[in-house]
Amino acid sequence: MGPDRVQTAMEAVPREPFLPEQQRPYAGIDCALPIGHGQTNSQPYTVATMLRLLDVQPGHRVLDLGAGSGWTTALLAHLVGGCGEVIGVERRPELIGPAREALEATLGEATHASIREAQAGVLGAPGDGPYDRILVSAEAQRMPHQLIDQLADGGMMVIPVATVMHRVERRGDRIVDTQHGRFRFVPLVEDT
């Protein structure tokens, strides 16, 4: 078995730059940390679990919904490599500036990863789809079919729904939804 690509990405992309200054001393602790505005930087164990379920490959186009601090966007950028693309979408405009700064500080002038403000009344970024992978780092109360519609054939989404982690795969017209344990997240904001 080859090296664990997710572990390699987590070693290559430190958590500290994506945290507010006062939280950086706790970056090595395996727990969610507040980043302000009622949002958190997710627990590293949870992030690693989600990324392993997502099985991101070099060259993939990935939507990172609920980009928050930008850490998952940077991790995904590492996994897709320079030939892939990651679009981070965040609802809270006050988080976007610091997330972009941390992303640039970590990835340099890389153009294959970006973070933007969510469009009012739109879940995801359908205009840029379809996506090979969608990572949702906020908890939905029910499965959002408008995100499933943004998956490419063969695409996969990992999303917490009502505390249960789901992996949703599109296989032509068929959708395969499997469950992978219970997790807690901040709520997914579906409307403005």
Closest residue by Cα to residue 158 from 85, 61, 54:
54
The C-alpha R_g of the chain, in whole angstroms, comes to: 15
**42 catalytic residue (yes or no):** yes
Burial of 37 (0-12, 13-18, 19+ CB in 10 A): exposed
Rounded Cα distance, 129 and 117, in Å: 16
Rounded Cα distance, 125 and 172, in Å: 21
Single out the catalytic residue among 42, 69, 114, 137.
42
CB 18 within 8 A of CB 70: yes
Structure tokens at 124: 């995801």
> What is the DSSP code (8-state) at residue 188?
P
| Strand pairing report for 151-161 and 131-136 | parallel
- Residue 89, phi then psi, degrees to nearest 5: -125, 130
User: Catalytic residue numbers?
Assistant: 42
